[in-house]
């Protein structure tokens, strides 16, 4: 699991590495999951660029400039994420998940709606709050994020928290994974 967040109305976004391919599962609260898959052999210890762009029901999913466009199933147009945003893993199985194990590798250059997440987490102590659709988070468990690039938390089971209710969302990150 790379990035996971959900809302109280059944919305979720799950970005995960499954069988060396990036898989994006997204639901706008209609009980209909849209699943997109891009890339292959992504556990090669090389850096890979991942980007998700969503406007209303239109979604674009890019991995290393390979692009997939789709229409999200259902009638809703807003992605309401008001629970935790997990990076690198989740504590238990969640809706929309295919990956059953946490990510092993490095995450860097993580941007959500234009906000650089990892530098802000590195600079935070235990709690930082942001408003106007910017992330709200406590310290994050970065056991799977590279020690040199990520911030190691003293706590386990901590998470980032994203409060977004919008017709627009963009996620961009760089990842490096290696086989187990």
Q: How far apart are CA 30 and CA 45, in angstroms?
A: 37
pTM value is: 0.76
Q: What is the domain range of residue 128?
A: 3-178
Report the pLDDT value the prediction gives residue 87, as an integer from 0 to 100. Answer: 78
Residue 92 maps to which CATH number? 2.60.120
Q: How confident is the model at residue 84 (pLDDT cuts 50, 70, 90)?
A: confident
Domain count, the chain: 1
Condensed to tens digits (0 to 9), the pLDDT of residues 39-70 reads: 888 888 888 999 999 999 999 999 999 999 99
Report the pLDDT value the prediction gives residue 153, as an integer from 0 to 100. Answer: 33
Residues 6+ apart with CB under 8 A from 58: 69, 70, 71, 72
| Neighbour count for residue 93 (Cβ, 10 Å) | 9
């Amino acid at each position: 699991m790379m990035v996971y967040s959900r809302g109280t109305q059944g919305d979720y976004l799950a970005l995960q590495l499954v069988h060396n391919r990036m898989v994006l599962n997204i639901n706008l609260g209609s009980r209909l999951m849209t699943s997109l898959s891009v890339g292959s052999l992504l556990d090669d210890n090389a850096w890979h660029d991942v980007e998700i762009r969503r406007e209303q029901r239109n979604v674009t999913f890019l991995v290393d400039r390979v692009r997939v466009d789709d229409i999200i199933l259902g009638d809703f147009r807003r992605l309401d994420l008001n629970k935790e945003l997990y990076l690198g893993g989740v504590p238990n199985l969640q809706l929309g998940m295919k990956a059953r194990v946490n990510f092993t590798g490095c995450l860097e250059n993580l941007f959500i709606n234009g906000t650089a997440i990892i530098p802000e987490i590195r600079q935070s102590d235990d709690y930082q709050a942001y408003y106007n659709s910017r992330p709200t988070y406590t310290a994050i468990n970065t056991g799977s994020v590279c020690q040199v690039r990520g911030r190691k938390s003293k706590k386990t089971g901590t998470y980032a928290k994203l409060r977004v209710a919008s017709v627009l969302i963009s996620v961009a990150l760089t990842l490096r994974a290696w086989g187990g």
